[in-house]
Amino acid sequence: MSYLIEPKNYNPFLDLKQTEQGIKEIKEFFQMNLSSDLRLRRVTAPLFVLKGTGINDDLNGVERPVSFPIKDMGDVQAEVVHSLAKWKRLTLANYNIEPGYGIYTDMNAIRSDEELGNLHSLYVDQWDWERVITEDQRNIEFLKSIVVRIYAAMKRTEYMVYEWYPQIKPCLPEKIHFIHAEELRQLYPDLEPKDRENKICEKYKAVFVIGIGCKLGDGKKHDGRAPDYDDYTSKGLNDLPGLNGDLLLWNSILNRAFEISSMGIRVNKEILISQLKKEGKEERLGLYFHKRLIDGTLPLSIGGGIGQSRLCMFYLKKAHVGEIQASIWPDEMRKRCEELNIHLI
193 is a domain residue:
yes
The answer as to whether 345 is a domain residue is no
- pLDDT at position 59 is 62
Edge-to-edge order in the sheet of strand 48-50: 48-50, 76-80, 67-70
Task: Look at residue 1 and tell me if it is in a domain.
Answer: no
197: annotated active-site residue = no
57 catalytic? Reply is yes
**Active-site residue, 259 included:** yes
* Catalytic residue, candidates 79, 130, 246, 323: 246
Residue from 31, 83, 121, 126 carrying the catalytic annotation = 126
Active-site residue (options: 89, 111, 185, 225) = 111
Among 262, 308, 309, 325, the one annotated catalytic: 262
Backbone angles phi and psi of 30, in degrees to 5: -65, -45
32 part of a folded domain: yes
Which residue out of 57, 79, 228, 230 is catalytically annotated? Answer: 57
pLDDT at 1: 45
Q: Which of 31, 259, 325, 327 is catalytic?
A: 259
Distance CA 345, CA 325 (A): 6
Question: Does residue 111 have an active-site annotation?
Answer: yes
Distance CA 24, CA 164 (A): 12
Series of mean pLDDT values for 10-residue runs along the chain (345 residues): 84 95 97 97 93 76 82 93 89 97 94 90 94 98 98 98 96 98 98 97 98 96 93 95 98 96 97 96 93 96 97 98 95 95 95
Domain containing 124: what range?
Answer: 16-339
**Other CB atoms within 10 Å distance of the CB of residue 238:** 11
Evaluate whether residue 38 is within a structural domain. yes
Is residue 344 a part of any domain in this protein?
no
Determine contact, residues 303/103, Cβ cutoff 8 Å. Answer: no
Listed in order, strand segments (DSSP E) in the chain are 40-42, 48-50, 67-70, 76-80, 102-110, 123-132, 177-180, 206-210, 244-251, 256-265, 301-307
Residues 149-176 as b/e (b if ≥16 CB within 10 A, e otherwise) read ebbebbbebbebbeebbeebeebbeeeb
CATH number at residue 105: 3.30.930.10
Number of domains observed in the structure of the chain: 1
Please report whether residue 2 resides in a domain: no
Q: 334 an active-site residue?
A: no
In a domain, 76, yes or no: yes
* pLDDT for the residue 155: 98
List residues bridging with 177 in a β-sheet: 207
58 is catalytic: no
